[in-house]
Amino acid sequence: MLAIQAAVTIDLAYSERIPYTFKGRLQSRTSEACGSLSTSLPDQLFWPNSTQYSTETTDIWSETCLLSPSCVFEPNTAEDLSQGLKLIKMSGSKLSVRSGGHMPVPGAQSLDDGVMISMSRFNTQALNSDKTIASIGPGQTWIDVYTWLAQSDLVVNGGRYPSVGVGGELIGGGIGYFSGSRGWGCNDIVGYEVVLADGGIVYATGENTTFSDLFWALKGGHNNFGIVTRFDMRTIPIGSIYGGFLAWNGGAKEQFFDALEDYMAPGGGVDDPHSAINAFASIQPAKGSSSYSLENVILYSLPDPSPVALRGFTSINSSYLTTSEVSLHTTWTDIPNLLGQFSNRNGRSLFWSISYKGDPQAISIHNHTVIDGALEELTHVAGLTIYATWQPISKSWLEISQRSGDAIALDPETDGTFIAGMITSLWDNEEDDEAVYAFVEKAAQKIQSETTKVGLYNPFIYLNDAAKTQKPFDALGGGKSLPRLKEIQAKYDPDGFIKNYLQHGFSLE
């Protein structure tokens, strides 16, 4: 009841600011929006109980995010989206936008009693004449993009996992396999095609003074400014590369963390721009401590069969190995394809972002807090696997970001090399949602408290890994980005339609 009252309060405040006639009930507004879309764009509007409605509303990674929109609008083009957005706005209906549907934040891509816009038909794949720029539609997954570009021996600095969607990953910043030499994924974007709140279609670039502020805001500012219908990204020539997936049993713990410590040390692998790792520890509490496992996705973007930067991990005693799928690959897409095992969409999931300096003490705090705590408190949760994840961010990465200019705007000198840590939980049943969330929140607070005490905490919250109650915009640019983001939102959404009616994983409020 309180949630309904809150929504109505927002809607009424909004209706006082814009010159339309609103009906009194949200349901009738949504019915009007769906009806108008069905009349004007009949082949792009899908009602409940239709096959396409079911497909679009369930193509979402976490079951915690499966909601019941009143209808699904699946536009073919930016012009169709523009027309549809105007109709939705005129009706006063709520709306959501789904690209890949990977963010496990309820409301980030779907909603109850509103219009869900699916970007599935925005699947542009085009190269400019010299193949230095790839035009990419947001409705694709990254493996779609990588497979296409591999035919031309090219790649872009997109997402690491094959099932992650293009759209959400890029507007949240983007951690990629090639970020050591390219920065955030958004730093390689040269232009965005965007449908604004009034239905206008604009092309935002850093060189266009008219929309250069919008260009900056979209690089890490999430879906708070409009709906992106195309990303133009710089391409990267790619040949043979080294890498793959490694997993060890708990016996490798000492060697694994020694390797991670060496990797994060000054002059270690983190400072090699060709190197990338995504290291994590996992436990299945119901199965006890014997289920403790250590994993790492590694990549070296040159044809070196034994890169020094990764040798700490590749030299761990082989007797502890449970999976070894590492080699020199002539086709680089072999590596993201190896990670299909992490793309299961038949469960419940939660992310939580927590950052700190790449110091062994902070890494240990993260590991023990998550793993030991889960063994003590979550053995009753069916199907639970919980992960402590370490994602290195180098100083040189931040220097590239700084030169490019983006809303993330971390300071290479202040933030330096650090770890964008993460707690990931995957489990089976809705009845355990509250217990899992409460544990993860408490664990994150403990990690923050203990790393703060020893001067290792970093307040950066990576938006794409954040939980619903986190505030990822507060620390961007040392606190300076958020006021500017709000100003830009007000400029391009003066009557508050995107702000108040489009559902966000994370709003600017």
Edge to edge, the sheet with strand 201-204 lists 125-127, 133-136, 227-234, 189-195, 201-204
Per-residue pLDDT band at 25 (split at 50, 70, 90): low
Q: Is residue 289 helix, strand or coil?
A: helix
pLDDT tens digits along 317-367: 999 999 999 999 999 999 999 888 777 777 999 999 999 999 999 999 999
Is 120's pLDDT higher than 90?
A: yes
**Placement of tokens 């966000």 in the chain:** 504
Is 100's pLDDT higher than 70?
A: yes
Sequence-ordered strand ranges (E) for 99-188 = 115-118, 125-127, 133-136, 154-155
**What pLDDT does 469 receive?**
96
pLDDT tens digits along 371-401: 999 999 999 999 999 999 999 999 999 999 9
Residue 89 to residues 62, 346, 377, 501: CA-CA distances in angstroms?
A: 28, 34, 46, 9
- CB count in 10 Å sphere of residue 331: 15
pLDDT tens digits along 446-455: 999 999 999 9
Smallest CA-to-CA distance from 101 within 54, 158, 61, 159 is with: 61
How would DSSP label each residue in 375-434?
HHH-TTSTT-EEEEEE-EE-HHHHHHHHHH--SS---HHHH-SEEEEEEEEEES-GGGHH
Apex CA 306: angle with CA 305 and CA 309, to 5°?
A: 130
pLDDT tens digits along 27-71: 789 999 999 999 999 999 999 999 999 999 999 999 999 999 999
| pLDDT (average), residues 129-143 | 98
Beta partners for residue 54, in sequence order = none
Q: Is residue 294 helix, strand or coil?
A: strand
Is 111's pLDDT higher than 60?
A: yes
pLDDT tens digits along 241-289: 999 999 999 999 999 999 999 999 999 999 999 999 999 999 999 999 9
399 CA to centre of own chain: 22
- CB count in 10 Å sphere of residue 431: 10
pTM: 0.94
| pLDDT (average), residues 82-97 | 97
| pLDDT (average), residues 300-319 | 98
What is the overall mean pLDDT for the chain? 94
**What pLDDT does 18 receive?**
36
**What pLDDT does 12 receive?**
33
Beta partners for residue 421, in sequence order = 354
| pLDDT (average), residues 177-197 | 98
Is 11's pLDDT higher than 70?
A: no
Per-residue pLDDT band at 22 (split at 50, 70, 90): very low
**What pLDDT does 26 receive?**
61
CB-hemisphere CA count at 13 Å for 146? 23
**Placement of tokens 């949630």 in the chain:** 3
| pLDDT (average), residues 137-144 | 97
Rounded Cα distance between 307 and 302, Å, is 9
CB-hemisphere CA count at 13 Å for 43? 4
Beta partners for residue 275, in sequence order = 300
Residues constituting the chain: 509
Torsion of CA 119, 125, 128, 129, to 10 degrees: -160
**Placement of tokens 């710089």 in the chain:** 234
Taken in order of first residue, the domains within the chain and their CATH numbers are 2-120 (3.30.43.10), 125-237+480-490 (3.30.465.10), 241-470 (3.40.462.20)
Per-residue pLDDT band at 207 (split at 50, 70, 90): confident
**What pLDDT does 27 receive?**
73
**What pLDDT does 7 receive?**
33
